[in-house]
Amino acid sequence: MNIKDTYPELHALRSRLEANQGKEYWRSLEELAETAEFREMLHREFPDRAAEWPGPDDVAGRRRFLQLMGASLALAGLTGCTVQPTETIAPYTRPPEGIIPGKPLFFATAMPLGGVGEGLLVESNMGRPTKVEGNPDHPASLGATDVYAQASVLTLYDPDRSKTLTYLGDISTWGAFIAEVQTALSGQRGNQGAGLRFLTETITSPTLAAQLQGLLNEFPQAAWHQYEPAGRDNVRVGAQLAFGQEVNTVYRFEQAEVILSLDADFLSCGPGSLRYARDFAAKRRVTEGKTEMNRLYVVESTPSGTGAKADHRWPMRAGEIEGFARAVAAGLGVQLGGQAAQPSGPAGQWVPALVRDLQQHRGRSLVMAGDYQPPVVHALAHAMNQALGNVGSTVVYTDPLEARPASAGTGAVNQLESLRTLVNEMNAGQVEMLLILDGNPVFDAPADFNFTEALKKVKWRAHLSLYNDETSLICQWHIPEAHYLEAWSDVRAYDGTVSIIQPLIAPLYRGKSSHEALAAFTAQPERTGYDIVRDYWRGRLGAGAGGQVPGTGPKPTTPSSAGPSDPFEQAWRTALRSGVVPNTALPPKSITLKSDWVSEVGKTTSGSQMEIVFRPDPTIYDGRFANNGWLQELPKPLTKLTWGNAALVSPATAVKLGLLSQGDDRLDVEAKIETRLYEVNGRVVELQYQGRTVRAPLWVMPGQADDSITVHLGHDRWRAGRVGTGQGFNAYRLRSSNTPWFGQGLEVRLTSDRIELATTQRHHTLEGRKIVQAAVIDEYQKKPDFVREEVETPPKEHTLYPEYQYPGYKWGMAIDMNACVGCNACVVACQAENNIPVVGKEQVLRGREMHWLRIDTYYKGALENPETHFQPMLCQHCENAPCELVCPVNATVHDAEGLNVQVYNRCVGTRYCSNNCPYKVRRFNFLLYQDFETESLKLLRNPEVSVRSRGVMEKCTYCVQRIQRAKIEAEKEDRPVRDGEIVTACQAACPAEAIVFGNLNDAASRVAKLKAEPRNYGVLADLNTRPRTTYLAALRNPNPEIESKPGPETRHG
């Protein structure tokens, strides 16, 4: 499609954006459009009125205002005279070992998601888990965490969690459940369990797999099905296609210099993404004299964090990626049997250059296919890696992580087919007993399965889950599940490493783990999860008992069993303490491509119709985290949408669909196209696909592939809880088993309705100033201090205030924008560490979200495929802080080490400071956002941080509680604080190690070295604010063959 001819206005806009040769960045369509509303919003520090009387009282006039002000003035003095209420202290009767009151303890555990584990260290304050950190000894974490792990403590204390075991909606008991299971099972014994079925999510837990296998041995006719709505069927089937056997692929980004991602968002989601982000960022780190960096090519349908980091990104419909992969594969010499066709479009013309680049880096390149691309693309990626000699260096194959029944034969685990079989059997009346462990198939099974109707045909059905959810409603038995922080289990990481999941707290609501629920089907129904997991490992851990873990290859070295105790006990304790079971990473496996794999490759499915792309939601995943307020309110990467989802369309598609308001009276027909594009956001359309319809609001997404609409799964649950129920629209209604991830033939019907979408992208905008600095690597090599030209820093004496010396510590932070992948982990980590409240959709719409740290996304260039940069923005702790000068009550002041501190008790809520803050990082408690009432949430709070109430300003403190903790410990030992001893919550969570905090007075500290880098610059430093937080400019490493197109408009950076 030639945009120039079809949509001249869009083309004009593109030319205008591309002609912006300088560093012209924009954040939202609205900003481009410069609507009157947007300008108005910029001029206020918060977008909406300060007064808060929702409803008719809103008209409160001058008199009412004066009355209230008078009253508050008269009563203000009295607040100081309160006598503290009497408090009591309840000490232990018999103190547990190891707990020192007032000191937190850390325990190693792991969080399973999609069956794959992420190693964690969880902070426990007097027995309450309050904060999750990554486990530095765990290969998948190396100390980092993702948003799901950070937010999991909130799920643990969620007051909407299921608290009672129910039978037909009435409260029942575990004993009654066991009794009924045993009765029903005795009926199954006669026919070897022919009517018995288990439905689980993806399972990598060795113990659970052994338990299930034990049950299948006892009931040979029974079956175990696995289904995960955001599962990795394509990966498994693709490997099957290429190698004839199921393998797990582990990528080694630390070796890769040229990376091609075929719709793979490896930096943000999927097994190993934390590790991949760490290794990827390390190869991109241009510091301490290093001037080389890796190069990333991405083709993708919908913009992702990975796409934003790409040096070359080509938007492409999901269905066309196979054609592109074929072309690249053919170029690399993979024998395809003459099926390769040259793909059209801007990506197609660069295939030869891409191929050359890959071939020049044989053994140091990497091709990765996305989880949601069809098996063929995965097979092609395997073949390309083989052809490039990457196997063994950047790509390693191992045995599969997933456990599966031995009776399932050699076929790969295809969960969709597994569920299809189950549904067919249920419909045929063959299933008499069904135990659903975890998962929520009534909500998330493919729409064409009619899972609910089929489920109702099962005579006996039970569901174990954290919430009494959609599936629980359809089952007679609902068993409350123990959260992973409450139960014993084990799990494998992306490379096979096993972690024992150890609980941090006894089950709050007598929940049961999957292990315990399965034990109810055995002769020992009351066995505890602890016994089950330990008994499984008893024969496998430590010396003496064989020590062989299935699939671990060579026997682990026997630990020298010094000491009298049981070697198993020693090994068990070591495994619990370190968070990993040693030597359980799956060994590399040498496999070869099947000779006939090409013949099995199907025909390409590309068409010219409108395409629909399904994706798990970047914050609430497949819907399981829908009731987690932190995740619901977390601005999704790139769209910055909160509380709900939208159908993402490209600007050209929006034009094509006739969405622009041509004849609309409200708008001037002459209005600029960007204004009219912006007006599309929130327009409700009817999406009809394969005869099923949902109504969805639209969102114009720069960088989205044309003729492709992306919808995110997991929203609009009807039994999620008070937070998640009814947010957004349910994309599962459109998703059928033949098109699990994308398909052709979507019909879009316009309606006249609008929905307000709560996006934070336009909040706190920094009006067209030189906020983001970026360059291409060549420019940087020629002129390392290019930012100096761009950012003017006034001399120190340009201030009326006397110079202040910081003789002791001088805290500061450096953020490498080249490393940041925009994953949001820091935002949730900050929220968890600092007791930051959730405000709700209506308040986000008014611009009152409370996150102390936000990730700003900046775009540059044309709407179709803009260059994207992430910039974490938090309090800059300016040495000349503008906020401090305007506070009438001295509530925001500097401390002697350079922290800009906010004194909550002095704050009277004038909000002058926020008004005067050029970075817009101050947050005001307009209402009582904190929940002081709900008992379970009280357990969640970090005891080291004040809980703020209504009417006070707050902001990033550089995690002052962590600074003080480290300082006190150091002073007790009569030594200075060591570099790296203070790790802020955001820094700890960051998988890319983009954030570094430390003492600027110590020239050897990491932060001081980073600040000495030529790329270092302060945002808005020309205001002479002297920010303590500075940024390292982003760099791109484009392929010169592709970038050297003549003409100024292609010049990047």
Q: Which helix (H) or strand (E) holds 952?
A: none
**Alpha-carbon torsion angle 561, 565, 568, 572, nearest 10:** -100
Number of residues that bind another protein (CB under 8 A): 43
Counting beta carbons within 10 angstroms of the beta carbon of residue 692, is it exposed (0 to 12), middle (13 to 18) or buried (19 or more)?
Answer: middle
Q: How far is the CB of 487 from another protein (least distance, A)?
A: 24
Q: Which is nearer to another protein, 435 or 891 (CB)?
A: 891
Two tokens, residue 996:
């570094």
Q: How far apart are CB 973 and another protein at their closest, in Å?
A: 9
Closest separation in Å from C-beta 103 to another protein: 5
Instruction: Tell me the window of 144-152, 329-337, 707-715, 891-899 that interacts with another protein (CB under 8 A).
Output: 891-899
Of residues 138 and 810, the one with the C-beta less far from another protein: 810
Candidates 305-313, 572-580, 630-638, 899-907 — which segment interacts with another protein by CB under 8 A? 899-907
**Bridge partners (DSSP) listed for residue 131:** 123
Half-sphere exposure (Cβ direction) of 325: Cα atoms closer than 13 Å: 33
Nearest to 263 by CA among 347, 182, 167, 342: 347
Least spacing, CB of residue 911 vs another protein, in Å = 20
Residue 884 interacts with another protein (CB under 8 A)?
Answer: no
Minimum CB distance to another protein, residue 940 (Å): 16
Out of 737, 946, 1001, 1039, the only residue in the binding site for another protein (CB under 8 A) is 946
Using DSSP's 3-state secondary structure scheme, residue 637 falls into: coil
CB of residue 88 to another protein, shortest distance in Å? 4
* Shortest spacing between CB 967 and another protein, in angstroms: 8
Per CB under 8 A, the list member of 961, 1006, 1020, 1023 interacting with another protein is 961
Is the CB of 29 or the CB of 883 nearer to another protein?
A: 883
HSE, side-chain direction, 13 A CA sphere, residue 844 = 24
Give the closest residue to 296 by CA, choosing from 816, 1035, 1048, 1050: 1035
Stretch 53-82 residues interacting with another protein (CB under 8 A): 77, 80-81
For another protein, the closer CB: 697 or 898: 898
Q: Among 957, 999, 1030, 1037, which residue interacts with another protein (rule: CB under 8 A)?
A: 957
What φ, ψ does residue 459 adopt, rounded to 5°?
-70, -45
Name which position in 151, 826, 960, 995 contacts another protein (CB under 8 A): 960
Alpha-carbon distance values, 53 to 68, 210, 425, 466, 935 (Å) = 13, 59, 57, 37, 28
Q: Which of 884, 897, 993, 1013: binder of another protein (CB under 8 A)?
A: 897
Q: Give yes or no for residue 944 binding another protein (CB under 8 A).
A: yes
| Beta-carbon count within 10 A of 489 CB | 25
**Which residues, other chains included, contact 715 with Cβ-Cβ below 8 Å and sequence gap of 6+?**
617, 620, 623, 626, 644, 645, 727, 728, 729, 730, 731
Cα–Cα distance, 297 to 882 (Å, whole number): 42
Residue 960: CB minimum distance to another protein, A: 5
Phi, psi at 839, each rounded to 5°? -110, -20
Nearest residue to 415 (alpha-carbon basis) of 199, 702, 631: 199
Residue number, 88 or 186, with CB nearest to another protein: 88
User: Of the two residues 308 and 963, which places its CB atom closer to another protein in the complex?
Assistant: 963
Which structure tokens are listed for 490? 């084990």
The piece of 58-66, 254-262, 620-628, 960-968 that touches another protein (CB under 8 A) is 960-968
- Chain position carrying tokens 């599309």: 680
**Alpha-carbon Rg for the chain in angstroms:** 29
Q: Which is nearer to another protein, 818 or 835 (CB)?
A: 835
Q: How many CB atoms lie within 10 A of CB 555?
A: 11
Query: What does the per-residue mask of binding to another protein show for 535-564, with x meaning CB under 8 A?
Result: ------------------------------
Beta-bridged to residue 492, according to DSSP, are 116, 498
Complex with another protein: residue 95 or 726, whichever CB lies closer:
95
CB atoms within 10 A of CB 423: 25
Closer to another protein by Cβ: residue 675 or 902? 902
Residues 800-829 that bind another protein (CB under 8 A): 807-808
Nearest to 837 by CA among 851, 853, 847, 822: 851
For the beta carbon of residue 461, count every other beta carbon within 10 angstroms.
23
Region binding another protein by CB under 8 A among candidate stretches 213-221, 646-654, 923-931, 966-974: 966-974
Of 406-414, 678-686, 690-698, 890-898, the segment contacting another protein by CB under 8 A is: 890-898
Pattern 88-127, another protein, x by CB under 8 A: xxxxxxxx----xxxx------------------------
Asked if residue 928 binds another protein (CB under 8 A), the reply is: no
By C-beta, is 595 or 905 nearer to another protein? 905
Considering the rule CB under 8 A, would residue 1001 count as an interface residue with another protein?
Answer: no
Residue 603 interacts with another protein (CB under 8 A): yes or no: no
Q: Rule CB under 8 A: say whether 971 interacts with another protein.
A: yes
Stretch that binds another protein, among 483-491, 844-852, 879-887, 940-948 (CB under 8 A): 940-948
Determine, following the binding rule CB under 8 A, whether residue 84 of this chain makes contact with another protein: yes
Four-residue CA torsion sign, 652, 653, 657, 661: negative
Q: What are phi and psi of 605, to 5 degrees?
A: -110, 20
Q: Which CB sits closer to another protein, 886 or 903?
A: 903
CB of 98 to another protein, least distance (A): 12
Looking at the Cβ atoms of 88 and 524, the one nearer to another protein is: 88
Stretch that binds another protein, among 221-229, 279-287, 550-558, 892-900 (CB under 8 A): 892-900
How far is Cα 770 from Cα 84, in angstroms, rounded to an integer?
50
Burial class (CB within 10 angstroms; exposed 0-12, middle 13-18, buried 19+) of 693: middle
Closest-CA residue to 35 (of 671, 863, 915): 671
Minimum Å distance from CB 853 to another protein?
17
Write down the least CB distance from residue 937 to another protein, Å.
16
DSSP H/E element including 111: strand 105-113
By the 8 A CB rule, do 756 and 682 touch?
A: yes
Which one-letter amino acid corresponds to residue 312? H
Contact (CB, 8 A) for 274 and 829: no
Q: How far is the CB of 796 from another protein (least distance, A)?
A: 20
Closer to another protein by Cβ: residue 30 or 944: 944
Separation of alpha carbons 6 and 11, rounded Å: 9
Strands 312-315 and 105-113: unpaired
Cβ 996 to another protein shortest distance, Å: 21
Q: How far is the CB of 82 from another protein (least distance, A)?
A: 8
How far apart CA 808 and CA 996 sit, in angstroms, is: 19
Which lies closer to another protein via its Cβ, residue 61 or residue 102? 102
State in angstroms the smallest separation of the CB of 497 from another protein: 34
Only one of the segments 249-257, 600-608, 719-727, 945-953 lies at the binding site for another protein (rule: CB under 8 A); that segment is 945-953
Q: Which two tokens stand for residue 235?
A: 């990966």
The single-letter code of the amino acid at 512 is K
| Closer residue to another protein (CB): 776 or 966 | 966
Q: In this complex, which beta carbon is closest to another protein, that of residue 628 or of residue 834?
A: 834
- Name the residues that contact another protein, by CB under 8 A: 77, 80-81, 83-84, 86-95, 100-103, 807-808, 893, 895-897, 899, 901, 903-905, 944-947, 957, 960-961, 963-964, 968, 971-972, 974
